[in-house]
């Protein structure tokens, strides 16, 4: 079944309910499904057939949802990219995914020094139809294992990401699981500030809402006071976010101004939330806070049960009989409770593999288990504890950064001989905050300053990859012979 079928059913049953609130604009379920249908129509009219690839470079909002869901409704493979990405990430994705069409905002395309490749068909994001005639197009019939989306993920530390292919079955399982687990109902309102393409936002909030008739509120800022005002004014019931944002909300919460009694619970993910910080945030805000766990390569894996079993400081206990995780040693053998090892997962939410990369797929999918690259342990009660990342990737407030990719970009700056990139860690409000640190060696006679390195990275990479700290190393002198 096409993953957009449940959305269509919701639109037919509750056409007047609000589906998306995006700034001053509100789309009803009739409006949203008509926009998805018209988008799918246009993609088909352009000659695209099931299995073809559409690359999306759009910011969060209703147009992203219409384009993403419209592509998947037509049986196409949607390859969404973060709006914050720079030319390095975008052009690498174009070369890797080989899309038949790009849908992108014109102001984002203008960031590319030479634009998009001339051979590549381009549809400006502003032309994605949010209004127009009412339309109810039947989604293209597909099997559960038909590819739906491909999300780029950094895993191996090779200086490049791989696109994890998620099927229609993966999406349907994730949304059904999350809707039940998080008790999302017709009257609920979910605030989305995460990148909408991410599995955390798509599985926990967006598809979950659309399948149950809830409302998605698009958050265009992460300023804590503005978000607290929105949570209060719109009576938001669910907020998925990274620990750093939850901590900021707790810091700026004003009980005289902000009312959160409508909240069912908040969900923290994409980075680890320590127990003491978890309790402080929940106590300050007066809300139930759940820590979740998942990967780009797998829609939801484990979650802390919200009723009676929430255990701060853990990644949770199995929340679905079809989701399994265990801890294994270097040879893939299960280890007993209390011992550390790699977290491996088996679930209907696990990706089918990396796009056009069978060798990389075999490295992470082994004997039916997804190897997470995370080190953890399970306690005697079955709760999963995070220990550290085993993969050579930095986690910058939930954003994954490959040091090799950043170092290569810095090395292209005139005057730079070599660059090494690693983590810069500091404790902020009880959370270990990681940013990028670059050690740069300058060519003899060249003049390069830290601001030059940062400006160069800002031009070519996503903002969270820009080094917060730049240090200069002395050139290595060759020995006299």
Mean pLDDT calculated for residue range 153-166: 98
Instruction: Pick 5-378's CATH classification: 3.40.640.10, 3.40.1390.10, 3.40.50.300, 3.40.50.12780.
Output: 3.40.50.12780
pLDDT in tens, 129-144: 999 999 999 999 999 9
Q: What's the topology of domain 394-473? A: GMP Synthetase; Chain A, domain 3 (3.30.300)
190-247: pLDDT as tens digits = 999 999 999 999 999 999 999 999 999 999 999 999 999 999 999 999 999 999 999 9
Of 274, 325, 315, 323, which Cα lies nearest the Cα of 293? 315
| Angstrom distance (rounded) from CA 80 to CA 301 | 22
Does pLDDT of 305 surpass 80?
Answer: no
For 389-406, the pLDDT digits (tens) are 999 999 999 999 999 999
Residue-level pLDDT at 145 = 98
Q: How confident is the model at residue 476 (pLDDT cuts 50, 70, 90)?
A: low
CA–centroid distance for 23 within its chain: 22
- The domain locations on the chain are 5-378, 394-473
Task: Tell me the average pLDDT of the chain.
Answer: 95
Residue 208, both tokens: 């979950």
Q: How far apart are CA 123 and CA 243, in angstroms?
A: 36
- pLDDT tens, 268-301? 999 999 999 999 999 999 999 999 899 999 988 8
Cα separation, 306 vs 189, whole angstroms? 18
- SS3 letters across 191-235: EECCCCCCHHHHHHHHHHHHHHCCEEEECCCCCHHHHHHHHHHCC
The per-residue pLDDT for 475 is 64
Cα separations (Å) of 73 from 37, 65, 116, 176?
8, 12, 26, 18
Confidence of residue 19 (pLDDT cuts 50, 70, 90): very high
Helical pair 243-252 and 275-285, crossing angle rounded to 10 deg: 40
Residue for token pair 């998080």: 182
pLDDT at 468 over 70: yes
How far, in whole angstroms, is CA 202 from its chain's centroid? Answer: 8
Between 181 and 408, where is the model more confident? 408
pLDDT of residue 96: 98
Output the pTM of the full model.
Answer: 0.96
Is residue 448 pLDDT above 50, yes or no? yes
Check the CA dihedral 225-469-463-389 and report its sign: negative
Please classify residue 424 by burial: count the beta carbons closer than 10 Å to its beta carbon, then call 0-12 exposed, 13-18 middle and 19+ buried: middle
């Amino acid at each position: 079944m096409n993953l957009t079928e449940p959305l269509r059913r919701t639109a037919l049953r509750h056409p007047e309910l609000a589906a998306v609130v995006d700034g001053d604009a509100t789309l009803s379920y009739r409006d949203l499904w008509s926009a998805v249908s018209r988008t799918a129509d246009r993609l088909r009219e352009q000659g695209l057939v099931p299995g073809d690839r559409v690359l999306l470079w759009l910011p969060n909002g209703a147009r992203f949802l219409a384009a993403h869901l419209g592509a998947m409704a037509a049986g196409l493979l949607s390859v969404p990219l973060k709006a914050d990405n720079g030319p390095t990430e975008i052009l690498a994705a174009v070369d890797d995914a080989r899309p038949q069409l790009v849908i992108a905002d014109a102001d984002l395309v203008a960031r590319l020094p030479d634009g998009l490749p001339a051979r590549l068909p381009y549809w400006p994001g502003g032309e994605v139809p949010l209004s127009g005639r009412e339309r109810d197009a039947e989604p293209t019939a597909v099997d559960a294992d038909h590819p739906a989306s491909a999300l780029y993920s950094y895993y191996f530390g090779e200086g490049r990401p791989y696109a994890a292919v998620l099927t229609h079955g993966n999406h349907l399982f994730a949304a059904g699981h999350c809707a039940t687990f998080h008790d999302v109902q017709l009257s609920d309102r979910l605030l989305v500030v995460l990148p909408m393409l991410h599995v955390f936002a798509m599985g926990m909030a967006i598809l979950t809402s659309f399948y149950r008739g809830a409302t998605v509120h698009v958050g265009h800022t992460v300023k804590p006071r503005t978000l607290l005002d929105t949570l209060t004014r719109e009576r938001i019931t669910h907020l998925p976010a990274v620990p750093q944002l939850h901590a900021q909300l707790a810091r700026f919460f004003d009980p005289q101004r902000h009312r959160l009694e409508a909240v069912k619970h908040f969900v923290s993910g994409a980075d680890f939330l320590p127990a003491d910080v978890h309790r402080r945030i929940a106590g300050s805000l007066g809300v139930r806070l759940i820590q979740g766990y998942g990967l780009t390569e797998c829609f939801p894996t484990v979650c802390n049960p919200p009723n009676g079993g929430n255990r701060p400081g853990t990644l949770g206990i199995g929340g679905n009989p079809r989701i399994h995780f265990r801890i294994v040693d270097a040879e893939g053998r299960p280890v007993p409770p209390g011992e550390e090892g790699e977290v491996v997962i088996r679930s209907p939410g696990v990706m089918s593999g990396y796009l056009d990369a069978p060798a990389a797929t075999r490295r992470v999918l082994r004997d039916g288990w997804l190897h997470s690259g995370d080190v953890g342990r399970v306690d005697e009660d079955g709760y999963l504890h995070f220990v550290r990342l085993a993969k050579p990737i930095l986690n910058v407030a939930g954003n994954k950064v490959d040091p090799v990719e950043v170092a290569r970009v810095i090395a292209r700056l005139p005057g730079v001989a070599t660059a090494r990139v690693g983590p810069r860690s500091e404790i902020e409000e009880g959370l270990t905050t990681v940013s990028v640190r670059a050690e740069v060696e300058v060519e003899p006679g060249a003049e390069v300053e830290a601001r030059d390195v940062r400006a160069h990275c800002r031009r070519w990479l996503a903002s969270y990859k820009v080094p917060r700290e730049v240090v200069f190393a002395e050139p290595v002198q060759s020995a006299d012979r």
